[in-house]
Chain A
Amino acid sequence: EAQVTQNPRYLITVTGKKLTVTCSQNMNHEYMSWYRQDPGLGLRQIYYSMNVEVTDKGDVPEGYKVSRKEKRNFPLILESPSPNQTSLYFCASSLSPLAGGLYEQYFGPGTRLTVT
């Protein structure tokens, strides 16, 4: 079954404690991205990756890191989480972000992160 998986699905942590949210897709997609969703703000892109070893900042990259060592995995790293990073996070993948974006994105189930 084609899917994007994220782990953990729920996480409560404390300020400053490094954490990683994993994302994996089994569709051989080139393109992967991370979003955060906050009430009233919709989904905002954090980072994206066009292919292995190619990553770039989205609209709200501050406080996050990513890596793309393998095509299927795209982990999101919070080196020193703060309460304003409490949010719902989605990982997504698609075939290729051609100009205009002609391919559907597949989303993971989401990760609810609370930073106290």
Chain B
Amino acid sequence: AQKITQTQPGMFVQEKEAVTLDCTYDTSDPSYGLFWYKQPSSGEMIFLIYQGSYDQQNATEGRYSLNFQKARKSANLVISASQLGDSAMYFCVRGKLIFGQGTTLQVKP
């Protein structure tokens, strides 16, 4: 079965430090996309970053970057310089709408 695994149900990070959220996936598709979404306590889903399987470089969007290792089938999200507003649940999503279980991140002041 094609699935997404996020092994960290919850994480803590100190404000201003970097944090990595893990994501591994299964797929037999030759090309695919990987997405990360943020869900704050208010409930909405916010798109953060996208990585295409054939992209030569790892995706970056401001403080977010994706550590994409295709051979290992991993797509870890790196948040640099954490802020209190980063406290939320984060979902790794593979194209064809397969969601991981999510990681709850709490940023400590």
Contact = CB atoms under 8 A, between A and B. Distances in A.
Interface string A38-63: 00111111001000000000000000
Contacts of B102: 42
Contacts, number: 66
Interface in B19-63: 27, 29-33, 35, 37, 43-45, 47, 50, 52-53
A101 B99 contact: no
Contacts of A33: 97
A109 B50 CA distance: 20
B96 interface: yes
A92 B47 CA distance: 12
Interface residues of A, number: 26
Using C-beta atoms within 8 Å of the partner chain, give the interface range for chain B: 20 to 34
Interface in B56-100: 91, 93-97, 99-100
A76 to B, nearest CB: 16
B29 A100 contact: yes
Nearest to A98: B95
Contacts of A35: 99
